[in-house]
Structure 1
Amino acid sequence: MADQQRSFLSRKIFPDGDEPDAQFTLANERTFLAWTRTALAFLAGGIALGAFPVEQFSNEVRTGLSVFVLGVGMFVAASSVIRWIRVERAGRHNRPLPVASAMPVLSAAVVVASAVAIWLFVLA
């Protein structure tokens, strides 16, 4: 595609390389949207933890958990954009796809959230 036909943002983020196949680009966008949904779920959970009092926790613990869950949501949202750009650049330069570096953090956060949910609803 001629450089003049590309948007300003596209030229800034992806200054070089060949235009990838549309299927590759659309698959990358679907993955980005999945990561974004995950981030939104964590953000909603953090807001809910902060907004609704839970009898099993003191206000300090509840606030700490809320900040932790909100932080995970913000981390996942930021890392999803970074991953989308890295994968798109790899496709434009015919390089191997990068590893999802946010996955260990996300997995650990899900384990912590699951443990807290078990503690709240099963063991309490």
Structure 2
Amino acid sequence: MNPPPDRRPAWQREGREPDYRFSLANERTFLAWVRTALALLAGSVLFDQLATRAPGHHYVAVLAVAGSGIAALLAAVAYWRWKGNEIAMRHDWPLPGSKWLAVLAVLLFVAAMLVTLMLAGVV
């Protein structure tokens, strides 16, 4: 009986198979990023629902759109980081760094400050 054809992407067939513990740890990190993106998306939906009732509703609507955009970016970055780490492990390279972490941190900081100003009644 022949083995089934290998349908993995080419990058997953290169190098050597990493220790499964590291692959699973990388996958758990990916899933944590995705969970965070889902939570941010849920918060954005909440902001959207509040936008019609809250004073300064235009600011709340902007936060809803910004939050959903950041959630989408976070989900994409999660995949890029997972893939980059998998490739590095397959070739015994150092794990890649990422400037996206700083970008996401700044975006979330700005969004959190806007929420804080809204709750304080400044905006």
Give the TM-score normalised by the residue count of structure 2. 0.84
Identical residues among aligned pairs (%): 35
- Structure-2 change in CA distance of 1:117 and 1:63 (3 Å): closer
> Quick one: distance in 2 between partners of 1:106 and 1:112?
10
**Alignment equivalent of 1:22, drawn from 16, 20, 24:** 20
After the TM superposition, list the runs of 4 or more consecutive aligned residues in structure 1 that deviate by more than 3 angstroms: 4-7
* Partner residue in 1 for 2:55: 56
Letter in 2 for 1:27: A
* Partner residue in 2 for 1:66: 64
Alpha-carbon distance, 1:114 to partner: 1.8
> Quick one: distance in 2 between partners of 1:13 and 1:52?
45
CA contact (8 A) 2:63 2:111 kept: no
**Alignment equivalent of 1:47, drawn from 37, 45, 54:** 45
Give the TM-score normalised by the residue count of structure 1. 0.83
* Structure 1 portions without partners, runs of 5+: none
> Quick one: distance in 1 between partners of 2:88 and 2:95?
6
* Structure 2 portions without partners, runs of 5+: none
Alpha-carbon distance, 1:117 to partner: 2.4
> Quick one: distance in 1 between partners of 2:4 and 2:30?
24
Please tell me the root mean square deviation across aligned C-alpha atoms, in Å: 1.9
- Structure-2 change in CA distance of 1:27 and 1:57 (3 Å): same
> Quick one: distance in 2 between partners of 1:45 and 1:93?
39
CA contact (8 A) 2:50 2:60 kept: no
- Structure-2 change in CA distance of 1:104 and 1:6 (3 Å): farther
> Quick one: distance in 1 between partners of 2:16 and 2:82?
16
Alpha-carbon distance, 1:109 to partner: 2.0
> Quick one: distance in 2 between partners of 1:6 and 1:37?
32
Letter in 2 for 1:50: D
* Partner residue in 1 for 2:98: 100
